[in-house]
A and B are shown apart, each in its own frame.
Chain A
Amino acid sequence: MNTVIEMANLKIGYSPDNILAKIKNLQVKQGEIISIIGESGIGKTTLLKNIANLVKPISGSLKVFDNEQNRGRIGYIPQKLGLVKHETVFFNVLEGAICNESILRSISGFHDDSVLTKVEKSIDLMNLSDKIDEPIKRLSGGQQRRVAIARTMAQEPKLILADEFLSELDNKTVDSVWKTMLDYVERENTTLIIVEHNIERAKLAKRCLKLEQNKEKGYSVLNEVQI
């Protein structure tokens, strides 16, 4: 199996004086499903943002897809989902799909038919066809999460990073949203990393990593745990 993420002696945080976590060594293979757990404020989201290349590491080595710049390989679902709230379901899912076409086509608005078909297929898979022209702000929490997944599906990334995207949902909706996501990643052999502080939900993943505070050193460390 191909290695998707490789970390060695990685220090993350927002400044050298304020290191949040240190990761000695970690390898993530293609198709793995991983949950990252830990207390609030310990650095879970920062770790995810480092992997998504939104924040630069303080020091150490972090390779994602061997650091090859490739449009659309990483799908990121932030805590608040990162949807364009004033826009429709179609518009939001299209945002993911345009990663598969040239920048010129994307900006011109003359999208390829295959891209539009992909958008409609993803919306259909998430049972949102009747909401296709509905603005995001009028959807329920569960429906919004399904839109975020549809956007990621239309993007067809090789790595999905999801930050507490199951929070604020009732158990029944968690089951259905999780099942949809799982079906997708298994079918497409996509790597999935979810950040969770709820242990029960973290158990849904096949491998679990825990960020734990090292009081002596003042930052957290990443350990593999069985839950």
Chain B
Amino acid sequence: MNIARKKYPIFITFILFTTWLVFVNLVDGDWASLENSLDNLSTFFYESLWPPNWKVIEAQAYPVCDRNWDFLCSPAYIGIMETLKIAFVATGFGFILSLPLATLASRNLYRDSIAIPFRVLLAAMRTLPSIIWAIFFVILVGLGPVSGVLAMTFYTVGYLGKLQYEAIEGLSNDPLDAAKAMGLKNSEIIQRVVIPETANNLISQLFFMFEYNVRHGSVIGIVGAGGIGYYISTYLKFLQYDKVIALLIILFGVVIIIDLASIKARSYFVEDATFKSPNLFGNFFRGKKNK
């Protein structure tokens, strides 16, 4: 049999073998640490994590709660709401900023001398994880949700920008060619071809990014950038792991709900959906029409 026909099994074997070799290299002979890991996990779980401490859904001692339900003054509610707000604003800002950058980074719209620098810029914004952006903005603007919004916005621009320029480059050449041959300027082509043709993808990516940012809310809060992460980091400092696990369970629940809503919403905009999808961008850009 021709060796080329066996390339997939050979490739997979190679990948598995290399992964194992690198792993062995990283363990560096210390297999005992792995053997004890299950025992350690069991001890940690039953002594520190379980059962979760549900006091996190009760009102905090200070400030005094002036609302009807104690839950509305609880660390869980305050933290989750702040995380949701940070994620919402950062995703919105990120989307507005990333779209122009993504069009400039698209090689089917602009020549390489323009597209490549913008790709490098987006890659640079993506390279730093959101926690590093959060540390940077906490230093710049101080502790709190504003630094969280700025950190997440920067990361969102880098991440969403990449998804967007990949969607733009995946467009069929024909509508672009027709528009270019007509003599339309790039700004017109973006408005009349690129955005309408990629609108479903862009909206789907927007939902994905919001969900991603909610998940990351727990990370950036650890460095003081607000949200549920702030409470998680406080409980970690005081070794209150049972409260940490309670907050993580709540966060997990919220993420699951957002994930389900996001899947539903995204399916509404994805190509070949079984039901009619509205055309948000098209309706914005259609302009007036004589009846």
Contact = CB atoms under 8 A, between A and B. Distances in A.
B286 A90 contact: yes
A95 B179 contact: yes
Contacts of A109: 285-288
Contacts of A49: 177
A91 B196 CA distance: 10
Given A82-B174, A84-B192, A69 B290 contact: no
Contact of A84 (B181, B185, B197, B289): B197
B180 interface: yes
B183 interface: yes
Given A80-B172, A86-B196, A88-B282, A54 B288 contact: no
Interface stretch (A3-11, A110-118, A166-174): A110-118
A110 B279 contact: no
A82 B185 contact: no
A111 B199 CA distance: 22
A217 to B, nearest CB: 29
Contacts of B183: 69-74, 99
A87 B174 contact: no
A78 interface: yes
A117 B290 contact: yes
A82 B188 contact: no
A95 B192 contact: yes
25 contacts: A69-B183, A71-B182, A74-B181, A78-B173, A78-B177, A80-B174, A82-B174, A83-B178, A84-B193, A85-B197, A86-B199, A86-B200, A86-B279, A86-B282, A88-B286, A91-B196, A95-B192, A98-B192, A103-B185, A106-B188, A107-B187, A107-B188, A109-B285, A110-B287, A151-B178
Interface of B: 172-185, 187-188, 191-193, 196-197, 199-200, 279, 282, 285-290
5 A-B pairs closest in CB distance: A82-B178, A76-B181, A109-B287, A71-B183, A82-B174
